[in-house]
Amino acid sequence: MDAFKLMKELRLNYEQEVHYLPKKTGLSLIASSVQDDGRISAKCRDARVEDLWSLTSFFGYSTQTFVLAVNLLDRFLAMMRIQPKHLSCVSLSCLHMAAKVTEEECNLTPSDELIRIGQCRFTASDLERMEKIVAQKLNFKSFAVTALTFLHLYHRIALSHSADRKETLSLEQLEAQLKACLCRITFSLAKPSVLALALLRQGIEAVRSEDMLEIAYHIQKHLKIADSELLLWSERVARCLSDYASPECSKPDHRRLQWIVSRRTAQNLHSYRNVPELPTIPEGGWGESESEDSCEDGMSSGEESLSSSLGSDAEGPYFPLHLHRQKQHLRVP
């Protein structure tokens, strides 16, 4: 695709991104919630997104599936007031919906297996019912403009205009860094186009390509992104990646999901599971009465968080050591 067509596609996606943004008021309420006030807190949301990362890696799903699932989850949570104990059902339904439109049919995981490996305690019919609710509330068809949409376009534009060290600007690395950012609800408040550009600039600065920095500058001007807005999110991205590169940040792989069981146990897992029936899921919005269930209650129903077992792309090589040196210079609002 030539440069003109790439820039035209970029402009079209930029004009459409507003239709796929979570409501800021809803996200702000989640971000300000604490775990014991009966509402979905930022910590609960972030833990579930990390679980989605683990499951995405375990099932071999693409980054596109993960990013779309997070987009659906955040938009739904920002719109609807749900009880914390239903969060696992909502998040898993978003992952299943995303996989259906991004993965090959032969690679799709059956819903019952998705529930079992996800260590959740609801039925396939619960999952199907929740998918219908999410699709209806979000008017979801099969598409959404996300930060990954822009990251891919920016990367293609940068490489098409520069002959300087093309091989060093790794799209795989940029995607892994985007996943890390999306595990924090703060970055759901950013415009996808701005977040992706901030990530691109981080990658370009790491490889020290003046040509590509110039291209990133022209992209910013083409989309009329304010310097202050880009600087704000660039600092937050740098801080996030710096924290993630820190040895204090635990980033185990997804091996915890690989179970070794006897043949009899495996047969029992496939043939029978004692799954308690979930109560009816209320569809109240953020303006209605508060939930009486806490995040701890939702987790105590038998579900175990997988957030300590992120995907294999959550490792050090994608979060280079040069970010440590940036940390002391950053001041994030």
Q: Kindly calculate the radius of gyration of the chain based on its CA atoms and give it in whole angstroms.
A: 20
Task: State the pLDDT at residue 333.
Answer: 45
Query: Residue 290: inside a domain, yes or no?
Result: no
Report the CATH number that the domain containing residue 77 is assigned in CATH: 1.10.472.10
Beta-bridge partner residues of 285: 80
For 160, the domain range is 147-256
Same structural domain for residues 63 and 162? Answer: no
* Mean pLDDT per 10-residue section of the chain, whose length is 333 residues: 83 95 92 75 93 94 97 96 91 96 93 90 93 95 93 90 66 94 95 97 87 91 95 95 73 49 57 50 54 41 48 58 46 43
The Cα–Cα gap between 203 and 312 comes to 20
Amino acid at 49: V
Q: Give the per-residue pLDDT at 210.
A: 85
pLDDT of residue 303: 46
- Contact present, 310 and 53 (Cβ < 8 Å): yes
User: Are 149 and 305 spatial neighbours (Cβ–Cβ below 8 Å)?
Assistant: no
Rounded to 5 degrees, φ, ψ at 80 are -110, 145
Q: How many domains does the chain have?
A: 2
| Domain presence at residue 244 | yes
Same domain, 131 and 180: no
User: pLDDT value at position 269?
Assistant: 53
Q: What is the pLDDT, as a whole number, of residue 284?
A: 58
Is 164 found in the same domain as 132?
A: no
Instruction: Answer yes or no: is 73 within a domain.
Output: yes
Q: Judge if 83 and 190 occupy the same domain.
A: no
pTM given for the model: 0.79
Answer for the pair 85, 48: CB distance below 8 angstroms, yes or no: no
Question: Of the residues 199, 233, 256, which one is the last residue of a structural domain?
Answer: 256
Among 94, 116, 138, identify where a domain stops.
138
Q: Is residue 103 part of a domain?
A: yes
CA trace torsion 220, 222, 224, 229 (10° rounding):
-10
The answer to whether 51 touches 256, Cβ cutoff 8 Å, is no
Amino acid present at 73: L
- Of the residues 225, 256, 287, the one at which a domain ends: 256
Assess whether 127 and 181 both reside in one domain.
no
- Do 102 and 159 share a domain, yes or no? no
Q: Closest by alpha carbon to 75, among 63, 91, 92, 51?
A: 91
What pLDDT does residue 294 have?
A: 43
Is 267 a member of any domain?
no
